[in-house]
């Protein structure tokens, strides 16, 4: 069994430093754990209190009679070593150390001692300098971030605490379902590779997103990521790409951001999809977690606007995806209901006259055609149609044919377009406000497919 299994599936969690003060971090973590509905036992630990949030309080972890697999530590840094000793002797397996004031401010020795002590008891350390972790299948929210996230299949590992907390909220707005969010902070012990190994085996996770400033053991990361990428896409936002960014990373989590080119090469070799921004990462998460992996690279673009089609074609070409003529039988079928001046090349331009029904029929035909591997749909809001009508046409075609091929949709317009995007997002159909974003996100799936093919070949040649 993976050594981190009991971190994500613990029988009992103790919150050390569970404060009586509603605004303190230890209190908020306890409250989130209780309110998000963790089904295991929760034990507040605070020598000065008898009861917090209706639960009996314990003076130390060693005084708890039930089994404690995880200890969340929220006491000042100078007290952390004694907590580790006590929890370690009590048999805890994981210490989730929220406390700051370690390597990131030059306290390297304290951080090393923390890990040394934990190892003495066979305990693993998450952090320090973190906001905690979430694992939705076990209803664990041991963070001081927002209480609710949408349960789903995306695991998010973040080296930045504040950004991670903020993104917890953004995933709700973006309709992205989460299996886990793990704040790893200074990565004194548990690092990205350990978590990748866990999520690789985790049936609840199918895509892994990492916000990374630096990596401690590059070789191990590449080895593990290469194995995991064979089954699950990994997306990395690598920050600290510039000199200014690298300086910021050093004082943030004490990480060495390193040489950009080296990271990029390592990511490519291990099949990792590297992105520059949070927006790009979330765009990729949608196609990669909601669509199946494409069986080939034959993309058909359907549009009602030539310009949107050109922009999408350019983006795809920038990403190394080149459009070929659509299959003959598809063009013949579409020709039956579009005007004579419609273009039946690729993009298929239904013209500005296109009503919702033409979208429905052409998407249905494209999805059902065996010579098409993925479909990109572009719609520019015109007075002839409503964005919601087109969104419904997309959903109907997809429902009838079945989601066996990747699809990506751009709905370009104002407030109504935004509503239609939300409608599709709620149905887990990737939808974006620009042709470039929709095309780039679809191309990410083809890039992942290529990486995976390369990794399979490399593995079989070895
Ligand atoms: N065992 C258990 N509880 C104890 C012990 C002990 N040995 N000793 C003291 N306590 C209690 C305290 O009495 C207090 O409870 P009370 O408020 O009911 O009296 C509680 O533990 C907390 O202790 P405080 O001394 O009040 O510490 P405080 O809560 O102010 O700070 C904290 C602790 C939050 C860990 C702080 O030191 C810290 O590191 N803050 C930064 C955390 C952070 O930002 N992490 C990175 C997150 S990522 C991001 O950037 C968002």
Residues 325 and 382: beta-carbon distance below 8 Å:
no
Averaged pLDDT of the chain: 95
The mean pLDDT value for 441-456 works out to 96
Cα 168 to Cα 78, 156, 164, 186, 250, distances in angstroms: 30, 9, 6, 20, 24
Q: Are residues 280 and 325 in the same domain?
A: no
What letter would DSSP give residue 325? P
Ligand 1 site, residue 307, Cβ cutoff 6 A:
no
Residues 333 and 348: beta-carbon distance below 8 Å:
no
253 in a structural domain = yes
Ligand 1 site, residue 74, Cβ cutoff 6 A:
yes
| Residue-level pLDDT at 162 | 84
Q: Give 372-401 pLDDT, tens digit per residue.
A: 999 999 999 998 899 999 999 999 999 999
List the residue whose alpha carbon is closest to atom 20 of ligand 1. Answer: 17
Q: How far is the CA of 135 from the centre of ligand 1 (A)?
A: 23
Q: From CA 184, how far away is CA 157, in angstroms rounded? A: 7
Q: How far is the CA of 212 from the centre of ligand 1 (A)?
A: 26
Q: Are residues 279 and 344 in the same domain?
A: no
| Residue-level pLDDT at 250 | 64
Q: Are residues 271 and 390 in the same domain?
A: no
- pLDDT grade, residue 180 (50/70/90)? very high
Q: Give 33-77 pLDDT, tens digit per residue.
A: 999 999 899 999 999 999 999 999 999 999 999 999 999 999 999
Ligand 1 site, residue 45, Cβ cutoff 6 A:
yes
| Residue-level pLDDT at 403 | 77
- C-beta atoms surrounding 203 within 10 Å: 8
Q: Are residues 243 and 284 in the same domain?
A: yes
462 in a structural domain = no
Q: From CA 186, how far away is CA 171, in angstroms rounded? A: 24
Question: What percent of the chain shows pLDDT beyond 90?
Answer: 87
Cα 338 to Cα 57, 348, 357, distances in angstroms: 72, 10, 11
Report which ligand 1 atom has the smallest distance to the Cα of 45. Answer: 2
Q: Are residues 122 and 204 in the same domain?
A: no
In the block, tokens 């299996």 appear at 179
The mean pLDDT value for 438-451 works out to 97
137 in a structural domain = no
Report which ligand 1 atom has the smallest distance to the Cα of 131. Answer: 47
Nearby residues of 103 by Cβ (< 8 Å), 6 or more positions away: 111, 129, 186, 188, 253, 254
| Residue-level pLDDT at 254 | 61
Q: Give 268-283 pLDDT, tens digit per residue.
A: 999 999 999 999 999 9
Q: How far is the CA of 159 from the centre of ligand 1 (A)?
A: 20
Q: How far is the CA of 344 from the centre of ligand 1 (A)?
A: 65
3-state secondary structure of 112: helix
Q: How far is the CA of 193 from the centre of ligand 1 (A)?
A: 29
Q: Are residues 326 and 377 in the same domain?
A: yes
141 in a structural domain = no
Mutate to test the pocket of ligand 1, among 14, 16, 17 (most ligand atoms within 8 A of CB): 17
Ligand 1 site, residue 313, Cβ cutoff 6 A:
no
Q: Are residues 311 and 225 in the same domain?
A: no
24 in a structural domain = yes
Q: From CA 293, how far away is CA 407, in angstroms rounded? A: 10
Q: How far is the CA of 321 from the centre of ligand 1 (A)?
A: 52
381 in a structural domain = yes
Whether the pLDDT of residue 244 is over 80: the answer is no
pTM of the model: 0.94
List the residue whose alpha carbon is closest to atom 15 of ligand 1. Answer: 19
Q: Are residues 381 and 349 in the same domain?
A: yes
Residues 45 and 172: beta-carbon distance below 8 Å:
no
Q: Are residues 368 and 420 in the same domain?
A: yes
Q: Are residues 395 and 324 in the same domain?
A: yes
Q: From CA 296, how far away is CA 308, in angstroms rounded? A: 24
Q: Are residues 77 and 109 in the same domain?
A: yes
| Residue-level pLDDT at 462 | 80
List the residue whose alpha carbon is closest to atom 19 of ligand 1. Answer: 19
Report which ligand 1 atom has the smallest distance to the Cα of 24. Answer: 29
Q: Which domain holds residue 275?
A: 149-290
Q: Are residues 331 and 422 in the same domain?
A: yes
Q: How many residues does the chain have?
A: 462
Whether the pLDDT of residue 263 is over 90: the answer is no
Number of domains in the chain: 3
List the residue whose alpha carbon is closest to atom 14 of ligand 1. Answer: 19
For residue 4, the domain's CATH number is 3.40.50.720
Could you tell me how far CA 21 lies from the centroid of its own chain?
33
According to DSSP, the β-strands at 41-45 and 140-143 are: unpaired
Whether the pLDDT of residue 318 is over 80: the answer is yes
Q: Give 105-142 pLDDT, tens digit per residue.
A: 999 999 999 999 999 999 999 999 999 999 999 999 99
Q: From CA 255, how far away is CA 337, in angstroms rounded? A: 59
Ramachandran angles phi, psi of 366, nearest 5°: -65, -45
- pLDDT grade, residue 260 (50/70/90)? confident
3-state secondary structure of 296: coil
In the block, tokens 């150390």 appear at 97
| Residue-level pLDDT at 387 | 97
Q: How far is the CA of 126 from the centre of ligand 1 (A)?
A: 16
For residue 193, the domain's CATH number is 3.40.50.261
The tokens describing 342, both together, are 């419609």
- In what helix (H) or strand (E) does residue 148 lie, and over which residues does it extend? none
């Amino acid at each position: 069994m993976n050594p981190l299994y009991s971190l994500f599936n613990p029988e009992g969690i103790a919150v050390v430093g569970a404060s009586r003060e509603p605004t303190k971090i230890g209190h908020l973590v306890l409250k989130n754990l209780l309110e998000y509905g963790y089904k295991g036992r929760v034990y507040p630990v605070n020598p000065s209190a008898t009861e917090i949030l209706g639960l009996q309080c314990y003076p130390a972890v060693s005084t708890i009679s039930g089994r404690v697999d995880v200890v969340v530590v929220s006491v000042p840094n100078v007290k952390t070593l004694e907590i580790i000793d006590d929890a370690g002797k009590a048999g805890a397996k994981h210490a989730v150390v929220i406390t700051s004031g370690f390597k990131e401010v030059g306290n390297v020795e304290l951080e090393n001692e923390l890990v040394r002590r934990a190892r003495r008891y066979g305990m693993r350390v998450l952090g320090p300098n973190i906001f905690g972790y979430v694992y939705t299948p076990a209803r664990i929210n041991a963070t001081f971030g927002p209480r609710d996230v949408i349960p789903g299949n995306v695991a998010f590992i973040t080296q930045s605490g504040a950004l991670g907390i903020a993104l917890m909220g953004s995933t709700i707005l973006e309709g992205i379902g989460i299996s886990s969010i793990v704040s790893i902070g200074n990565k004194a012990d548990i690092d990205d590779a350990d978590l990748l190994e866990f999520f690789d085996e985790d049936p609840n996770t199918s895509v892994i997103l990492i916000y990374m400033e630096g990596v401690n053991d590059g070789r191990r990361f590449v080895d593990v990521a290469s194995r995991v990428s064979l089954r699950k896409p990994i997306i990395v936002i690598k920050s600290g790409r510039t000199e200014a960014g690298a300086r910021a990373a050093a004082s943030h989590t004490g990480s060495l951001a390193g040489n950009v080119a080296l990271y990029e090469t390592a990511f490519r070799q291990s099949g990792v999809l590297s992105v520059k921004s949070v927006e790009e990462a979330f765009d990729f998460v949608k196609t990669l977690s909601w669509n199946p992996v494409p069986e080939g690279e034959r993309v058909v673009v359907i549009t009602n606007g030539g310009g949107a089609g050109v922009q999408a074609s350019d983006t795809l070409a920038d990403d190394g995806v080149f459009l070929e003529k659509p299959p003959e039988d598809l063009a013949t079928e579409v020709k039956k209901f579009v005007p004579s001046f419609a273009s039946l090349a690729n993009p298929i331009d239904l013209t500005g006259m296109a009503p919702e029904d033409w979208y429905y029929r052409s998407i249905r035909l494209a999805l059902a055609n065996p010579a098409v591997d993925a479909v990109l749909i572009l719609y520019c809001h015109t007075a002839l149609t409503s964005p919601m009508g087109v969104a419904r046409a997309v959903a109907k075609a997809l429902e009838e044919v079945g989601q066996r091929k990747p699809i990506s949709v751009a709905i370009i317009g104002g407030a109504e377009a935004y509503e239609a995007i939300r409608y599709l997002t709620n149905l887990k159909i990737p939808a974006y406000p620009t042709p470039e974003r929709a095309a780039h996100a679809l191309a990410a799936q083809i890039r992942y497919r290529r990486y995976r093919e390369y990794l399979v070949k490399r593995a079989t040649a070895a």
